[in-house]
Chain A
Amino acid sequence: MLDELKIFLDPNTQWILFGSMLLGLCSGVIGSFAYLRKQSLMGDALSHAALPGVCIAFMLTGSKSVFFFLIGASIAGIIATFGIGFITRHTRIKQDSALAIVLTVFFGLGIVLLTEIQHSGTGNQSGLDKFLFGQAAALVLSDVLIMAVASIVLISVCILFFKEFKITSFDPGFASGMGFPVAFLEQMIMLLIVMAVVIGIQAVGVVLMSSLLVTPAVSARYWTEKLSVMVFLSGIFGALSGMAGTYISASGNNLPTGPIIVLAATVFFILSIIFAPRRGLLSKLLIHLLAKRSVKTSKVKIKGKERTV
């Protein structure tokens, strides 16, 4: 056991561990709000939408600096959230189609830009590839520091505005009646999602990032009916998945970290769906059986005669 824990003493692994736990934590927290607002696939759309931003950042600066990539990705993400909001607010197109439209059009634009970069000969785009498909093993101190700052900001905003976010998520009509700036709060939640996605892409990649926003939140939803508990649990699930993923991939086999983190989150989800109290499959089965038995054993009086049903 001690031997196996020794991997964590390696400073490099420690950084990766810390980074992926932070990532799991903050995407779990903001993912809960996304889930309640039926925007679980927002992460998927935004992480694809980051591509043109990253490409333009590279074209403008000519450097493969992660910092510029983050800025480019954030700007593209913000434009994407405005686009999604505009389409859903002003037309009869529903949110899911709006997400899919923004996702594909932005990604298509990104691919066009990517081929332009390839052909322009200003260098290969291998750095861009790595940024988008994610490499947790390549996280270095500065990346983890950026992640730490971003997660602290994200989590403290969530704590500060907890009441506002809660009321906007459950009943936007009531919230605007109470005088809360609903549109502003909604945009703020989207901004936080953009933030989580942007810091997550380079660690686990475009597709798997959307998983970290959805899976822990859905798992947490199974265990509780209270938002505060759900947000907390979702963060814990995310962080534990990050830890498990790093541990398994670091303990040999050279397995890629991102997919393992996602699979760990999926295991939490499957456990929740089976064992959760009240909503889980096992307890549903149990309740069903108990109800059946109580009906069977109870005697019902029908037309004066006593019968066993």
Chain B
Amino acid sequence: MSAFWIIVTGALVASACGLVGCFLVLRKMAMIGDAISHAVLPGIVIAFLISGSRDSLIMLFGAAIIGLITVFLIQLFTQSGVQSDASIGVVFTALFAVGILLVSLFTRDIDLDLDCVLYGEIAYVPWNTIDFMGIGIGPKAIWGVGLSLLLSVIVISLFYKQFKICSFDPAMAAAVGIPVALFHYLLMGLVSITTVASFESVGAILVVGMLVVPPATAYLLTEKLSRMIFYTIIIGCVSSIIGYYFASILDASIAGCMICVAGAIFILALLFSPSHGVIMRKLKQKQLIHEAV
């Protein structure tokens, strides 16, 4: 049963992250997930210091607030003339440093381990269950990630057209009267919520990986956004299933194996994608030359 829950959690994380990740890859903001998952550390620590408990709902709340502040600060610096990647770098490292400082200042005698808060372990998912009205309703992670996935699905399917235009051609979106800034913050809010809801239970590295690697793989396979999202989710789910079994064979980190499988699928697509693969293009070139000669 625990294997089932772990795979389901992995697939849910892959779908939730992949859905918003597609838009991040298209908008050239792939590193933002990495930034958010590091920058929320001070939020978690402050929430812990104020509430005094390790109740994850409060920590999640603190993390979500700092996540939004991070996104806002990045946007602020970008608008004042700093390159977007540099402003991501400045903001998240500064916030992470504040977080580490807070941990080392205030939590020396308290049980707040950096590893266990920031880098959740997907292997523990099945044992961290919640009850609803006295009945066990499955692991907490499933509910957290599932709800954030549901939210993203609702928001993105409501405003699919707007998100699409904003990602491909912001200038045209502004010209036809779509509030580009609003949709930017909406997307960033979704990324922030998804990241925070996921990493607490499965670890930052799996979240960042699933935000980028499957969407980039799908980007090499298709020219249509709807198909790209569909492929992304399939690739994400396949990597979490295969990754889990690799991990149990090798007796290694599950999250690490899932990412490695996603990476392997990416390399396959990079080389053999029918439209954009490196080797396939070379073959086509050769064929063309052959025909011409």
Identify which of A87, A93, A112, A218 contacts B90 (C-beta below 8 A): A218
Among A74-82, A152-160, A253-261, the stretch that binds chain B is A253-261
- Residues on A with beta carbons closer than 8 Å to the beta carbon of B101: 255-256, 259-260, 263
Given contacts A100-B212, A109-B256, contact A255 B278 (CB under 8 A): no
Given contacts A38-B83, A87-B270, A105-B213, contact A208 B263 (CB under 8 A): no
Task: Tell me if B's interface is mostly helix, strand, loop or mixed.
Answer: helix
Task: Report the separation of the CA atoms of residues A115 and B122 in the bound assembly, to the nearest whole angstrom.
Answer: 14
Q: Are B253 and A103 interface neighbours, CB within 8 A?
A: no
Any B CB within 8 A of the CB of A237: no
- Residues on B with beta carbons closer than 8 Å to the beta carbon of A119: 251-252
- Residues on B with beta carbons closer than 8 Å to the beta carbon of A247: none
Task: Report the separation of the CA atoms of residues A213 and B211 in the bound assembly, to the nearest whole angstrom.
Answer: 24
Among B28-36, B141-149, B183-191, B229-237, the stretch that binds chain A is B28-36
A107-135 vs B, CB cutoff 8 Å, 1 = contact: the mask equals: 11111101110010000000000000000
- Which one of A111, A115, A119, A217 has the greatest number of beta carbons of chain B within 10 Å? A111
Task: Report the separation of the CA atoms of residues A273 and B250 in the bound assembly, to the nearest whole angstrom.
Answer: 50
Any B CB within 8 A of the CB of A269: yes
Q: Are B253 and A41 interface neighbours, CB within 8 A?
A: no
Q: Are B97 and A211 interface neighbours, CB within 8 A?
A: yes
Task: Report the separation of the CA atoms of residues A111 and B205 in the bound assembly, to the nearest whole angstrom.
Answer: 9
Identify which of A94, A96, A207, A279 contacts B38 (C-beta below 8 A): A207
Any B CB within 8 A of the CB of A308: no
Identify which of A90, A101, A211, A256 contacts B266 (C-beta below 8 A): A101
Given contacts A90-B278, A92-B276, A266-B97, contact A108 B205 (CB under 8 A): yes
- Residues on B with beta carbons closer than 8 Å to the beta carbon of A44: 31, 34, 89
Q: Are B86 and A208 interface neighbours, CB within 8 A?
A: no
Any B CB within 8 A of the CB of A104: yes
Q: Are A263 and B97 interface neighbours, CB within 8 A?
A: yes
Q: Are B90 and A101 interface neighbours, CB within 8 A?
A: no
- Residues on A with beta carbons closer than 8 Å to the beta carbon of B253: 111-112, 114-115
Any A CB within 8 A of the CB of B208: yes
The distance from the CB of B222 to the nearest CB of chain A, in whole angstroms, is: 12
- Size band of the B side of the interface? 35 or more
Any B CB within 8 A of the CB of A35: yes
Any B CB within 8 A of the CB of A227: no
- Which one of A99, A101, A221, A259 has the greatest number of beta carbons of chain B within 10 Å? A101
Identify which of A39, A40, A92, A262 contacts B219 (C-beta below 8 A): A92
Q: Are A104 and B97 interface neighbours, CB within 8 A?
A: no
Closest to B259 in A: A108
The B-contacting residues of A in range 179-217, CB under 8 angstroms, are 207-208, 210-211, 213-215, 217
Q: Are B89 and A214 interface neighbours, CB within 8 A?
A: yes
Any B CB within 8 A of the CB of A281: yes
Any B CB within 8 A of the CB of A283: no
- Residues on A with beta carbons closer than 8 Å to the beta carbon of B176: none
Q: Are B83 and A281 interface neighbours, CB within 8 A?
A: no
Q: Are B83 and A210 interface neighbours, CB within 8 A?
A: no
Q: Are A100 and B208 interface neighbours, CB within 8 A?
A: yes
Identify which of A96, A99, A208 contacts B93 (C-beta below 8 A): A208
Identify which of A92, A208, A260 contacts B96 (C-beta below 8 A): A208
Q: Are A35 and B83 interface neighbours, CB within 8 A?
A: yes
- Residues on B with beta carbons closer than 8 Å to the beta carbon of A93: 25, 216, 219-220
Q: Are A97 and B255 interface neighbours, CB within 8 A?
A: no
Q: Are A103 and B34 interface neighbours, CB within 8 A?
A: yes
- Size band of the A side of the interface? 35 or more
Given contacts A104-B208, A104-B212, A105-B209, contact A41 B104 (CB under 8 A): no
Any B CB within 8 A of the CB of A91: yes
Task: Report the separation of the CA atoms of residues A178 and B38 in the bound assembly, to the nearest whole angstrom.
Answer: 43
- Residues on A with beta carbons closer than 8 Å to the beta carbon of B89: 40-41, 43-44, 210-211, 213-215, 218
Closest to A42 in B: B85
Task: Report the separation of the CA atoms of residues A115 and B209 in the bound assembly, to the nearest whole angstrom.
Answer: 18
Identify which of B94, B220, B258 contacts A262 (C-beta below 8 A): B94
- Which one of A87, A100, A208, A214 has the greatest number of beta carbons of chain B within 10 Å? A100
- Which one of B25, B81, B93, B219 has the greatest number of beta carbons of chain A within 10 Å? B93
Q: Are B212 and A101 interface neighbours, CB within 8 A?
A: yes
The distance from the CB of A242 to the nearest CB of chain B, in whole angstroms, is: 14
Q: Are A218 and B256 interface neighbours, CB within 8 A?
A: no
Q: Are B260 and A266 interface neighbours, CB within 8 A?
A: no
Q: Are B83 and A262 interface neighbours, CB within 8 A?
A: no
Task: Report the separation of the CA atoms of residues A254 and B259 in the bound assembly, to the nearest whole angstrom.
Answer: 37
Q: Are A112 and B276 interface neighbours, CB within 8 A?
A: no
Task: Report the separation of the CA atoms of residues A100 and B88 in the bound assembly, to the nearest whole angstrom.
Answer: 13
Task: Report the separation of the CA atoms of residues A96 and B88 in the bound assembly, to the nearest whole angstrom.
Answer: 11
Q: Are B90 and A111 interface neighbours, CB within 8 A?
A: no
Any A CB within 8 A of the CB of B257: yes
- Residues on B with beta carbons closer than 8 Å to the beta carbon of A110: 256
Q: Are B94 and A112 interface neighbours, CB within 8 A?
A: no
- Residues on A with beta carbons closer than 8 Å to the beta carbon of B88: 40-41
Identify which of B25, B38, B252 contacts A115 (C-beta below 8 A): B252
B26-58 vs A, CB cutoff 8 Å, 1 = contact: the mask equals: 001111011000100000000000000000000
Q: Are A105 and B262 interface neighbours, CB within 8 A?
A: yes
Q: Are B255 and A207 interface neighbours, CB within 8 A?
A: no
Closest to B262 in A: A105
Q: A93-B220, A104-B205, A214-B89 are in contact. List 7 more A-B contacts (CB 8 A).
A: A96-B85, A97-B25, A103-B208, A111-B253, A207-B38, A207-B93, A208-B100
7 A-B pairs (CB sep. < 8 Å): A44-B31, A87-B270, A97-B216, A105-B213, A221-B82, A258-B97, A279-B81
